[in-house]
Structure 1
Amino acid sequence: MTGLPLSAYRADDRTAVKEIQARNLLVVSCMHRAGFAAFTGDGLQPAQPPDNATALPAGPWGYLGAQAAATLGFHPPKRTLPRPNAAPAGSGEAYDAARVDCDRQAAERLGSPPATGTDLVARLFDESTAATAKDARVVAATGRWTACMTSAGFPATAPEELPRKYQSTPEATPAELAAARADADCTATSNLAGVWFAALAGYQRQLIDRNAQALTAQQEAVRAQDTKLTRLLADEANG
């Protein structure tokens, strides 16, 4: 999804990591000023890319990736969550109040692109996806996918049915893995993913043309926010 035309108008994973880093540095500095010199980031979010584990290679476009199909099925990979650090000595009401205030101050300093632009991008993503589902080329490719899956012994009228069917179990079952492998094979032979993403990109380009002024402003706001985060990180690193 990150390669789609509308993705250029929202923050990427790199910017998301910078925002977490900047927020954490601001909170740590604030806590030190509040008198908690031992605070090193207890309970703060790890500075790592957003968790895309739930964004399985399965969707209305079919299933992408034979290896994932054979090992994951329609279940997201298990995550090992970082263990929260223990609260420092002397924590209590004063510590909690300082944490709340420092979180507030960090959020105020960081800010964010205008909500109207962010909401617009989300709405246009939804509109392009809805248009793609009705596209005659996508409907035809989905029909080929359905026929292939039926021949493979896993009848389904749409790819979205399979995750809903198989994710009800705690672990991927052998039947689920077999269905996922068939999904990946049928996605390839029907070219469903190729057709689906090409159609989606086309609709997004049309929507970008119709909303060029607002989207240009949003893109500039996203870039300005990234520059601000870079400056904050440099300032905090230099003390």
Structure 2
Amino acid sequence: MLVVSCMRRAGFAAFDGDGLQSAQLPDNATALPAGPWGYLGPEAAASLGFHPPKRPLPRPATAPAGSGEVYDTARVDCDRQATEQLGSPPAAGGDLVDRLFDESMTATAGDARVMAATRQWSGCMTAAGFAATAPQELPRRYQAAPETTPAELAAARADADCTARSNLAGVWFAVLAGYQRRLIDRNAEALTAQREAVRAQDAKLTRLLAGEAAG
């Protein structure tokens, strides 16, 4: 909205985004229900296997509302103005969140409770005819094929069943949450500052967009 408004003020009344909008779903909308915690959901296992849902093709970008040096200069300037107006929360806070998340994942993978549940899962999978020592092996094994196969669907269904039987997901997420709570407590001051920075950024964005909509 900021770039569109800026370009129209610069004299390009027909400018409507020039391909700024994407039709693709966000990554988490096509995430697999499988991971180190096993496979969540027999319905997904029966239809997806270990291949993610197919994402819709992006809409073709509309033709630019102008061309030439004047247009290019305005577009660069409007992009710069929008970036300056929006700003961003301090990078150090985001880096801290990423680092703490990675630490929690590493700690969870090495936790004795998770390792025991994973061994139970592995025994169940072996008995079902799909030997694997860890759930992460299965996506790597089957995703090399371009399309989902009946054998892959059978393995995914067994994965979902063994995940439920071993309670791997229940153990894994409970352990992960425990480690994350500890890390949050140890880094409460820095995380609180980052949370407030993000809230301030959201409030600023809301004010900017409201002003553009009103204009």
Structure 2 length as normaliser, TM-score?
0.94
What is residue 101 of structure 2 aligned with on the other side?
125
Structure number with bigger Rg: 2
One-letter amino acid of the counterpart of residue 209, structure 2: L
d(CA) in 2 for partners of 1:45, 1:89? 15
- Asked if the contact 1:53/1:76 (under 8 Å) is kept, the reply is no
One-letter amino acid of the counterpart of residue 200, structure 2: A
What is residue 87 of structure 2 aligned with on the other side?
111
Aligned pairs, how many?
215
Given candidates 30, 41, 45, the residue that maps to 1:69 is 45
Given candidates 10, 15, 31, the residue that maps to 1:39 is 15
d(CA) in 2 for partners of 1:59, 1:26? 39
Task: Give how far 1:49 is off.
Answer: 6.6
Task: Give how far 1:100 is off.
Answer: 2.5
Q: Deviations over 1:176-233 (max 9, x none)?
A: 1111111111101100000000000000000011111101101111111111111111
Task: For 1:190-205, list aligned pairs within 5 A.
Answer: 190-205=166-181
1:82 aligned onto 2:58: yes
d(CA) in 1 for partners of 2:25, 2:146? 26
What is residue 22 of structure 1 aligned with on the other side?
none
Tell me the SS of whatever aligns to 2:164.
Answer: helix
Q: Given the superposition, is the C-alpha separation of residues 119 and 166 from structure 1 closer, same or farther in structure 2, using an over 3 Å criterion?
A: same
Q: Deviations over 1:70-99 (max 9, x none)?
A: 111111111113313322354234333322
Tell me the SS of whatever aligns to 1:131.
Answer: helix
1:55 aligned onto 2:31: yes
What is residue 152 of structure 2 aligned with on the other side?
176
Task: Give how far 1:48 is off.
Answer: 8.1
Q: Deviations over 1:50-70 (max 9, x none)?
A: 331442110000010111111
d(CA) in 1 for partners of 2:21, 2:65? 21
- Asked if the contact 1:74/1:167 (under 8 Å) is kept, the reply is yes
Shifted more, 71-80 versus 41-50: the winner is: 41-50
d(CA) in 1 for partners of 2:49, 2:70? 48
Runs of 4+ deviating beyond 4 Å: none
- Asked if the contact 1:60/1:159 (under 8 Å) is kept, the reply is yes
What is residue 226 of structure 1 aligned with on the other side?
202
Q: Given the superposition, is the C-alpha separation of residues 64 and 117 from structure 1 closer, same or farther in structure 2, using an over 3 Å criterion?
A: same
Q: Which runs of 5+ in 1 are unaligned?
A: 1-24
- Asked if the contact 1:74/1:180 (under 8 Å) is kept, the reply is yes
Q: Which runs of 5+ in 2 are unaligned?
A: none
Task: For 1:139-178, list aligned pairs within 5 A.
Answer: 139-178=115-154
d(CA) in 1 for partners of 2:24, 2:210? 18
- Asked if the contact 2:12/2:65 (under 8 Å) is kept, the reply is no
d(CA) in 2 for partners of 1:208, 1:76? 32
Tell me the SS of whatever aligns to 2:13.
Answer: coil
One-letter amino acid of the counterpart of residue 107, structure 2: A
Tell me the SS of whatever aligns to 1:81.
Answer: coil
Tell me the SS of whatever aligns to 1:85.
Answer: coil
What is residue 73 of structure 2 aligned with on the other side?
97
d(CA) in 1 for partners of 2:86, 2:65? 29
d(CA) in 1 for partners of 2:124, 2:89? 45
- Asked if the contact 2:25/2:55 (under 8 Å) is kept, the reply is no
